[in-house]
Amino acid sequence: MRYDRKNRLKMLTVLLTLLLCVVCASIAQAETIELTLEQAIGLGLKNSSALKTKMLALASAGADVQIARSSRYTDVSVSASYSHISDPPEMEGIYLAAKDDVTVGLSAQQPIYTFGKIKTGIKLAEEGLNRARLELEEEKRALIMAITRAFYGYILAREVLVVQEETIANKREALEVARKRFEAGLGAEIDVMSAESDVESFMPEVISARNEVDFAILAVKDLLEIGEEEGEYDIVLLGELSPDYRTFTKAELVELALENNFDLQQYRTGIHAAEYQNELAVREKYPTIAGFANYTVQSGYDPLTGESKFSGPDSWSDLLTVGVSVQMPLSALFPWSGENAQTKKTQFDLESLKTSLGSIEGGIKLAIQNLLLRLEKEKAKIRSGEKSVELARKYMETSKMSFENGLISSTELKDAQLNLNRAQLGYLSAIYNYNLALYDMYDAVGVDHM
């Protein structure tokens, strides 16, 4: 019996240990997220609070359109009232009102002709919906570009760290060579001290590169809206820094920009809204014709007692009223009226928007031309950087062998190391700057890829 109990306890302990290992492994796995650029963009779009706000604004603008369209339909309302008079008025023994009175009414009003006011109001609301839709799409595009920039900013920081760690490794290797040569009596102590100083003086560069990697990953997490309240995540971004070579023509880019650039689209919708606002201000001067109907049922009463009658003959009376109403803002006929001033204001606003539109188009064309030149410049830097890295690496290998054989000093080896370091960093910077210029081109055109 004791043997069985001990075996059960052992089995239970083993099972609990296995379960704990599985849970720990799951937690460890959950804390590491590997993301490609496409996955990072998808996560960012899913978590974006700004994007959700724009979606709500779009839904609100859609509701405004429904409100504007409802003005075309019949407005129906129902009413009911109850009143009690403790001492109703009477004359010669006849009560002039009931002690308790109940009235129920049904009324309806239907616009017949508004001289285009309702139609223009609907168009104005629809332009608001178009503007909200544009803002949502621009928020999405801008977020994609921000994540892309931050993603490759991290990749750049990671590549720079690799270069700095390679450089510090070369310096440490040179230090070991200097020590061995000194111990063998082939080198001077000053070479060892110089190599030690070189390692120590370069360490801040390595630490700075590591800090840049940490800062870059925090920038990505901020855009993806992964906060500490959701747990600590070790994010690994999968990608490499390489030039995304593209070929464009200025005419092609200008055509795309005139169609897709957010500022241009925003101004166009603003112009349309101003046109409808101006049209609405003009039409507000015209009358509004509407039909109405009102049906009322009122409880009766006994004139001799003042008591209400809710059943039987003469207990209820009804009244039907049907008619047509015409409302005309007479003040709009005077030149000094507020309606006329509002019309002039909307006209001025419209002209201002049209004038600004031309300058925006000119600015976009100039920006595209500058970006094309910038892309060519960075492309030339990349080609030059490739050759510089190749040459610096060969020179570095030759210098390393020469230092090991005592043919050059530690200072000359240090120069070779720094030349390779500068060439590598310059090459990485040229690639990153080329891609940045490409992303700036996407911003100017108004797209997130081409």
Residue-wise pLDDT tens digits, 80-134: 998 888 777 777 778 777 778 889 999 999 998 888 888 989 999 999 999 999 9
CB-side neighbour CA atoms (13 Å) of 248: 26
Q: What is the DSSP string of 377-416?
A: HHHHHHHHHHHHHHHHHHHHHHHHHHHHTTSS-HHHHHHH
What is the distance between the alpha carbons of residues 365 and 371, in angstroms, rounded to a whole number? 10
Of 338 and 197, more confident:
197
Question: pLDDT tens-digit profile of 198-251?
Answer: 889 989 999 999 999 999 999 999 999 886 555 566 788 899 999 888 888 889
pLDDT at 152 over 90: yes
This prediction has a pTM of 0.79
What is the distance between the alpha carbons of residues 104 and 77, in angstroms, rounded to a whole number? 11
DSSP H helical ranges for 79-230: 117-183, 189-224
Q: CB of 333 within 8 A of CB of 285?
A: yes
**pLDDT at position 40:** 92
What is the distance between the alpha carbons of residues 235 and 145, in angstroms, rounded to a whole number? 19
**pLDDT at position 336:** 67
Output the CA–CA distances (angstroms, integers) from residue 152 to 52, 160, 240, 332, in the order listed. Answer: 25, 12, 8, 61
DSSP class of residue 331? Answer: G
| Beta pairing partners, 91 | 94
What is the distance between the alpha carbons of residues 440 and 253, in angstroms, rounded to a whole number? 12
Output the CA–CA distances (angstroms, integers) from residue 317 to 72, 301, 308, in the order listed. Answer: 33, 10, 12
Write phi, then psi, for 295 (nearest 5 degrees). -120, 125
Residue 100: CB partners within 8 Å, gap ≥ 6?
A: 82, 83, 84, 85, 299, 301, 307, 308
CB-side neighbour CA atoms (13 Å) of 388: 18
Residue 404: CB partners within 8 Å, gap ≥ 6?
A: 177, 181
Output the CA–CA distances (angstroms, integers) from residue 71 to 118, 125, 324, 327, in the order listed. Answer: 7, 12, 17, 16
Q: Domain spanning 38-72+119-287+332-445 has what CATH number?
A: 1.20.1600.10
pLDDT at 7 over 60: no
